Amino acid sequence: MKMIKKSMQTSKLAIGPFLLFLLAICTAFTVVSCQNDSDHEVSPDLDARAETLVVKIGEVTEEEGLFFLAPIVESASYSGTFDASLSPVVEICATPACEPPLHTLFTVDGSGAEKVRIDMENEHYIVNWNTKESGAVAGQTYRVSVKVEEQIMGYFDVAVVSTGAQAKAVAPGVMALVAGQTLPIKFRIEKNDDGVQVPGRDIVVFNDVNIFSDLSMANPNNIRLIDNLVNFTTAGPRNSGTEVWFDCGHNTAYNGGCSGSVNSTTFNVLRSRIQSHGLTLTNVSSSVGTLINIPSNVKTLFLWLPTLSYTVAEVNALKQFAAEGGRIVFIGEHEGFYTATGLTVENELLISLGAVLRNTGGAVDCGLNVLPTASIRQHPITEGITDLTMACASVIEPGPDDYALFYDKSNTRVLAGVAKIDVTPIAAELVVSSSRMMMMSQPADENLNAGSTTGR
């Protein structure tokens, strides 16, 4: 087995003594033998797939308080207090799409081998992934994620191979496991005294404009969503701000939020509700390079479907806005309406702001739909909300520092999320091109009307 070596900020691949030991005893596992390693070569498809996964493989952000332990990493350094009060979930899915259904799922409420257990003596959680029982397929790469209250705390990727020789030959940065072996998944979660759900200094992403339309505002839960978005207490000088900006610039693909209507879709309730809180609502239309001076009284900034990229100066201005406690609300749309260009602009901005959250495309729950209680996740932004009305959204892939706000009707795909912003300024060379986007193919809707925000 290849192992991922943990450093201060990330876990990187390292081949240690454990690999040699494991290969030597692999026949002790209840499955694939190490014999005839020389008869097999690494699948080109597997190797190519591994190369595409290198970007985030094995990375664990220590600020999250999660630490993968051996044999996942060679060593781990931590000093905080172990939190044994949590109910972590371990999800394993087939990459790169990680589409439902999951390959396997482990919870603290499971039974037998499917149960996440607490080792109080050694202060960690553990579950054993038996690849034979789960039916893991050689030649496939799997993502192992640890979640707490729907937040992805961390993850790593495993290439399942047929032989020990293939395990040693898998591309750098990818953990390898011989099919049929059992992988002990050990991890430690430490207490975070500061909490994780702190409003402000964040970017909230909705990939559906209709959740804010007057038609959806017939649902009081949608109105509550507006209240939660603009009424929050944060740290920094913008906490006392009394102004909300709607920016329909950067060649917006949809001007309804600023104009109040597009065709028969109106947004009057959204606008009046914001103003009812004593807030000033200001429409702006920034051209490329001009969103660099955000007045100190602005507390919340809505970005409506931009299709032109933000400059380095603009990204740094948004980071400064966040550092002062401001909140950014990014509104996108389903892939058919927003197009690949819009999705690229959205993802490029998210990457530049330091978020791992991505719009992975697709068109989900098209036509007017009410998301049930089961689809809503706990967060200050969804406080008091029991369901939500929406119409056709693209899918979000949250990262380790991100929160899912709500899922689709099937409760399997994330449609809205929030991510903390890295307020450290970037340099020109750090702006990310579309070639580094983590885009995933989503199921097609045969009845999709790409020209409509509702998809119908």
Q: Do 254 and 157 belong to one domain?
A: no
What confidence tens digit (pLDDT) does each residue in 190-222 have? 876 544 444 678 899 999 999 999 999 999 999
What confidence tens digit (pLDDT) does each residue in 409-449 have? 999 999 999 988 888 888 864 444 444 444 444 455 567 78
Q: Do 183 and 206 belong to one domain?
A: no
Across the range 96-109, mean pLDDT stands at: 82
Note whether residue 443 is domain-resident: no
Q: Do 35 and 91 belong to one domain?
A: yes
| CATH number of the domain to which 218 belongs | 3.40.50
Q: Which domain holds residue 209?
A: 202-436
DSSP 3-state of 127: strand
Report for 99-103, 154-158, 392-396, 447-451: range of highest mean pLDDT: 392-396
CA–CA gap between residue 123 and residue 115 (Å, rounded): 17
Instruction: Give the lowest-confidence range in 70-84, 120-134, 384-398.
Output: 70-84
Q: Do 266 and 314 belong to one domain?
A: yes
Contact (CB, 8 A) for 74 and 11: no
Residue 347 in this model has a pLDDT that exceeds 50: yes
Q: Do 246 and 183 belong to one domain?
A: no
Q: Do 173 and 258 belong to one domain?
A: no
Residue 106 in this model has a pLDDT that exceeds 50: yes
SS (H, E, C) the chain: CCEEEECCCCEEEECCHHHHHHHHHHHHCCCCCCCCHHHCCCCHHHHHHHHHCCCCCCCCCHHHCEEECCCCECCCCCCCCECCCCCCEEEEEECCCCCCCCCEEEECCCCHHHECEEECCCCEEEEEEEHHHHCCCCCCEEEEEEEECCEEEEEEEEEEECCHHHHHHCCCCCEEEECCCEEEEEEEEECCCCCCCCCCCEEEEECCCHHHCCCHHHCHHHHHHHHHHHCCCCCCHHHHCCEEEEECCCCCCCCHHHHCEECCEECHHHHHHHHHCCCEEEEECCCCCCCCCCCCCEEEEEEECCCCCCCHHHHHHHHHHHHCCCEEEEECCCHHHHHHHHHHHHHHHHHHCCCCCEEEEEEECCCCEEECHHHECCCHHHCCCCCEEECCEEEEECCCCEEEEEECCCCCCEEEEEEECCCCCCCHHHCCCHHHCCCCCCCCCCCCCCCCCCCC
Q: Do 165 and 228 belong to one domain?
A: no
What confidence tens digit (pLDDT) does each residue in 63-99 have? 457 899 988 887 888 878 888 878 889 999 987 667 7
Task: Give the per-residue pLDDT at 48.
Answer: 36
Contact (CB, 8 A) for 143 and 57: no
The count of structural domains within the chain is 2
Task: Give the per-residue pLDDT at 133.
Answer: 93
CA–CA gap between residue 245 and residue 299 (Å, rounded): 8
Sheet holding 141-148, edge to edge: 104-106, 89-94, 141-148, 151-161, 175-178
Task: Give the per-residue pLDDT at 436.
Answer: 42
Q: Do 378 and 410 belong to one domain?
A: yes
Q: Do 223 and 93 belong to one domain?
A: no
Which of 142, 162, 189 is the endpoint of a domain?
A: 189
Q: Do 207 and 146 belong to one domain?
A: no
Contact (CB, 8 A) for 126 and 185: yes
Which of 155, 189, 223 is the endpoint of a domain?
A: 189
Note whether residue 455 is domain-resident: no
Note whether residue 95 is domain-resident: yes
Note whether residue 118 is domain-resident: yes
Task: Give the per-residue pLDDT at 117.
Answer: 94
Task: Give the per-residue pLDDT at 123.
Answer: 93
Residue 58 in this model has a pLDDT that exceeds 90: no
Q: Do 109 and 229 belong to one domain?
A: no
Q: How confident is the model at residue 52 (pLDDT cuts 50, 70, 90)?
A: very low
Which of 147, 168, 189 is the endpoint of a domain?
A: 189
Note whether residue 449 is domain-resident: no
Task: Give the per-residue pLDDT at 173.
Answer: 62
Place of tokens 């990330």: 10
Task: Give the per-residue pLDDT at 84.
Answer: 83
Note whether residue 444 is domain-resident: no
Q: Do 169 and 309 belong to one domain?
A: no
What confidence tens digit (pLDDT) does each residue in 267-314 have? 999 999 999 999 999 999 999 999 999 999 999 999 999 999 999 999
Task: Give the per-residue pLDDT at 170.
Answer: 75
Across the range 336-343, mean pLDDT stands at: 91
Q: How confident is the model at residue 163 (pLDDT cuts 50, 70, 90)?
A: confident
Note whether residue 384 is domain-resident: yes
Note whether residue 139 is domain-resident: yes
Across the range 329-343, mean pLDDT stands at: 92
Contact (CB, 8 A) for 361 and 99: no
Share of the chain above pLDDT 70, in %: 77
Task: Give the per-residue pLDDT at 192.
Answer: 61
Beta bridge partners of 210: none
Task: Give the per-residue pLDDT at 49.
Answer: 34
